[in-house]
Amino acid sequence: MKDRLVTLLGALLALAILYALFFQRAGEPPITKPLSIEAGRNGYLGLWNWLERERVRVVSLRNRYATLRDDASFAESGNVLIVTMPFRTPLRDSEVEPLHRWVERGNTVLLLAALDDSPEWLTIANQIDFQTDIAALTGLRFTNVRSAPRSGANDADAASDAAEHEAETGEKPRVPASAAAIAGSRRPPIPPRTEIELDAAVDHPLLAGVEWLRGYSDDASELWSLPNIDRDRLVLRLATESTSGLDALWQLPRGRGQLILAASGSLLANRNIGEGDARAFVRNLLHYHLGAGGAVIFDDMHQGLSSLYDAAALLRDDRLWHTIWFVLVAWLVYILGSSNRLAPPSTPRSVPRQGDFIAAAGGFMARRLDRRAAGLLLIEEWLAQVRRARGLPPGTPLWPELEATPTIARRVYEELHGFHRTLEGGRAVDLVRLHNALKEAREAIG
């Protein structure tokens, strides 16, 4: 008895040490990345599902930009690429020219650059080449407002405009902080946990019905400006940052395509897609720049989600941790119960019992069960569970209600509905795919 107690305490101590080293996490919510598959506050899954509901083709780009030019599945023009910066996976020089050629053919790139905000997914490592990457993709070079030369000319103009507005309308306008005051400050102009608002500056088709857009800065952030713009380059100023009045949204024509640059990396994230006029902005973007057969493409490659082998993706896979926990529990059970030193060896049973007969009969019937009947039973049982959970009587039609459920992806709904029609038509389906679709649907609606 003493040996068994000592072994149990040792095993529990080993599990506690392993948990403390590998599984313990801080009390704060996990930091998610700006990826199309992320349902956390920084991801784009909300935008992805909304676009699918609008029957827009959405694609996750998990390769370098040269794929856009070479992949025949993409239309020649009329595509919209959403890029979040700074990059987690470094931009290669060999990608820049293919992307420029792709835009010039009539495609659009929306660059969400974390200039005026500092989302929580920013790290020192992915900010090293930030300004260099922006210059490579857009040809624009930004300057930190606090490090820029001080000048009172802009302040005098702003005061004059404010006085003229008050004289004409009788209303006292909101005067943004002056560039000189920002430059003279010792602290970053954007404090931590601050909402960043972009106000429309001109009448433009992209801003029809858009009064303001909202980002969020989890950490302190600087403000950036364009001190000098190449006169040979057309840059259209669309919106300004509300507190400073500095430009924060630009449109850059390139051949038959467009580059649209926003000075916020969180405008369309899950936590901001429902704030302000973000959805109106996206609708305008698709109305004017998404062509027939075009797709909305999320650049997941440069945020770490690659089609190549990714060790970080392996560590994020829940199946790996489920396997580790299973092995640990099996090891603990073996230590406590199966060792000859701790327990006598069990003798095999020689006389079959009632449970053996039931198991044998059940296995025989399972092998003879028709695949179509099994699939139909799986779907009908799931529908019955949904009816019970929602307090509906048996036999109530559910497919129209499921189609309107916002948490179920359009792809999952259409796949399940198609399986149901196929099974009712007397044909079998792939039970593995059916099982996976049902699992996704259960997780989507709880």
pLDDT digits (tens, 9 = 90+) for 210-238: 998 999 999 998 888 887 776 667 889 99
Asked whether the predicted pLDDT for residue 428 surpasses 50, the reply is yes
Q: Tell me the three state secondary structure of residue 121.
A: coil
Q: What whole-number distance in Å separates Cα of residue 223 and Cα of residue 144?
A: 6
Q: What whole-number distance in Å separates Cα of residue 261 and Cα of residue 111?
A: 5
Q: Is residue 38 part of a domain?
A: no
The reply to whether 232 and 299 lie within a common domain is yes
Asked whether the predicted pLDDT for residue 271 surpasses 80, the reply is yes
Q: Where residue 190 falls among pLDDT bands split at 50, 70, 90?
A: confident
Beta-bridge mates of residue 221? 190
Closest CA to 80 of 248, 274, 293, 239: 293
User: What backbone phi and psi angles, to 5 degrees, belong to 44?
Assistant: -120, 15
The reply to whether 329 and 362 lie within a common domain is no
How many domains is the chain partitioned into structurally? 3
Contacts of 278 (CB under 8 A, 6+ apart): 213, 214, 267, 268, 272
The pLDDT, as a whole number, for residue 179 is 47
| Strands (E) located in 23-114 | 58-61, 80-85, 108-113
| Strands (E) located in 136-246 | 143-144, 194-200, 212-217, 224-225, 236-241
Q: Is residue 251 part of a domain?
A: yes
Least confident of 21-25, 38-42, 239-243, 361-365: 21-25
The pLDDT, as a whole number, for residue 358 is 85
The pLDDT, as a whole number, for residue 178 is 47
Least confident of 329-333, 334-338, 383-387: 334-338
Q: In the predicted model, what is the mean pLDDT of residues 81-94?
A: 94
The encoded tokens of residue 26 equal 């801080």
User: Beta strand pairing status for 80-85 and 296-299?
Assistant: parallel
Domain containing 357 equals: 349-445
The pLDDT, as a whole number, for residue 296 is 97
Asked whether the predicted pLDDT for residue 322 surpasses 90, the reply is no
The CA R_g of the chain, rounded to the nearest whole Å, is 29
The reply to whether 390 and 324 lie within a common domain is no
CB 221 within 8 A of CB 190: yes
Asked whether the predicted pLDDT for residue 205 surpasses 90, the reply is yes
More confident site: 156 or 86: 86
Q: Is residue 36 part of a domain?
A: no
Q: Is residue 159 part of a domain?
A: no
The reply to whether 79 and 179 lie within a common domain is yes
DSSP codes, 125-168: GGGTTHHHHHHHHHS---EEGGGSPP-SHHHHHHHHHHHHHHHH
User: Which pLDDT tens digit goes with each residue over 21-71?
Assistant: 666 555 566 788 999 999 999 999 999 999 999 999 999 999 999 999 888
Q: Is residue 153 part of a domain?
A: no
The pLDDT, as a whole number, for residue 312 is 64
CB 181 within 8 A of CB 249: no
Largest separation between any pair of C-alpha atoms in the chain = 102
Least confident of 132-136, 311-315, 361-365, 402-406: 311-315
The pLDDT, as a whole number, for residue 52 is 95
The reply to whether 122 and 250 lie within a common domain is yes
The reply to whether 367 and 422 lie within a common domain is yes
Evaluate if pTM is beyond 0.75. no
